[in-house]
Homo-oligomer: A and B are copies of this chain.
Amino acid sequence: MKQVPIGVSARHIHLSEEHIELLFGKGYQLKVLKDLSQPGQYAAEETVAVVGPKGKFEKVRILGPARGGTQLEVSRTDAFSLGLNPPVRESGNTDGTPGIQLIGPAGEVTIPQGVIIAARHIHFHTDDAAKWGIIDKQLLTVKIEGERSLIFEQVLARVSDQYSLDMHIDTDEANAAGAKTGDIALILS
């Protein structure tokens, strides 16, 4: 049995160094609120407001550390609230995606692109992947059991010795499956 813990991703944002400075001030450093399951990644104490054509979210959690490109990850439910129609994308692949306005305590910026619905994926440490015969970028079929039992196809495997075993789904997927962080998913094939 290939059992994987589930991590549910609520809406969040990754910021570039440049955008951290525009939103929070010159030389600003994010403060760590809580470490995440993937080594080195953390939820920051800071939040930003995001403003779309139809709605806004006042407090979107920043995940650190800073990245090369700013990226807002929302559920499809969130996207409807904002009035955007972002594609389902792998993290980092933001070409041609919608932009959005970001507001911080020290300034604001409108990014021309960067809003995505994150494609569901499983992080595997190299050792876990080798043990189960799974390779990087393989597409898996994964089941979440329960009264709203769901089978997810096309779940992307991401393998690295920097990763810790975790299946990342968004709040729509978690709620549709009746699942929460810490629940267990089963890789079927």
Contacts and interface: CB of A to CB of B under 8 A. Distances in A.
B148 A88 contact: yes
Interface size class of A (residues with CB under 8 A): 20 to 34
A176 B79 CA distance: 13
A136 interface: no
Q: What is the copy number of this chain in the assembly?
A: 2
B173 A176 contact: yes
Given A77-B171, A77-B172, A152 B153 contact: no
Interface string A152-189: 11100000000000000011110111100000000000
A94 interface: no
A170 B148 CA distance: 12
A128 B176 CA distance: 27
Interface string A126-160: 00000000000000000000011111111000000
Nearest to A169: B176
The interface residues of chain A, by DSSP majority, are classed as mixed
A88 B176 contact: no
A71 interface: no
A77 B77 contact: yes
B149 A150 contact: no
A59 to B, nearest CB: 14
Contacts of A149: 152-154
A19 interface: no
A97 interface: no
B75 A175 contact: yes
Interface in A43-91: 75-77, 80, 88
